[in-house]
Amino acid sequence: MPELPEVEIVRQSLNKKISNKKVKKVIVRNRNLRFKIPSNFVTFLKNKKIINVKRFSKYLILCLSNDQYCLLHLGMSGTIHIVNNIQKNLFTNTSFYSSPTLPTKHNHVEIIFKNLKVIYNDPRRFGFFEIIKSSSLLKKRFNKFGPEPFQPQFNLKYITSYFRGKKKNIKNFLIDQNFVSGIGNIYASEILFLSKINPFKQADLIKKKDYKKILINSKKVLIKAIKKGGSSIRDFKNTSGKKGGFQKNFNVYERNGLICKRQHCNGIIQKKIITNRSTFFCNICQI
């Protein structure tokens, strides 16, 4: 599943291509995604101007004219492809995961502009679209979500208060969107490695100095991943022909059995399952 950095790369690609453009036509080929595409989706989007494209957590937000919004979540396998109608582009994928070229199957939604179209592809159909009709409803939509690591609300006071008396392990908290928004499985493992914290450690037993490490390293890991174009795993290219490169910087993720990269540490990277998710950590420096 794409995490915050990957979704941010999609946002940047979309914002560059469709900001200030008017939707000419909308085609829905399959309404049966994770949640059914609203019956008024076509009429809602048609003739609307895309003011800009924003993001919160792992959600893309198409900001429309008249204070209206279209939310998009990519789910497990959703990708956004941009097809230029005038100059055909080989690489259509806005990010670095899944196929770099437009697949022939599972193209469920097309949003058509004057010289290009945006196509939503999703083989597993866990993604979804959602209509939001005002900024107040948009704010309400994310009320239950925790702050993003980049927001000032994600601070030492917030973490200390949230973890008080909590018995759940720290890895599960980092991927809990009610606690912090946007961190997923890959980046949780990387954050905990940099912080020298065992993923199985109970949240309320972690020391305050380690909370500070989580704060710092959450930002550090995500910023670096965004700069590297996210984690493509298989080195696919995006619409600009560039490759995502953060997977080359993994310290622990998918490195089970290999020697720890930390200087003067001879530990071996372990792979364990926490709540049905693969978790990677060093058996020596993450005690």
Active site residues: 2-3, 58, 277
Instruction: Return the CA Rg of the chain.
Output: 20
- Report the distance separating Cα 244 and Cα 47, nearest Å: 34
Strands 107-112 and 68-73: unpaired
Sheet with strand 116-121: strands edge to edge: 25-28, 107-112, 116-121, 79-84
The secondary structure element, H or E, covering residue 120 is strand 116-121
Contacts of 214 (CB under 8 A, 6+ apart): 159, 170, 174, 191, 195, 197
Q: Are 284 and 252 in contact (CB under 8 A)?
A: no
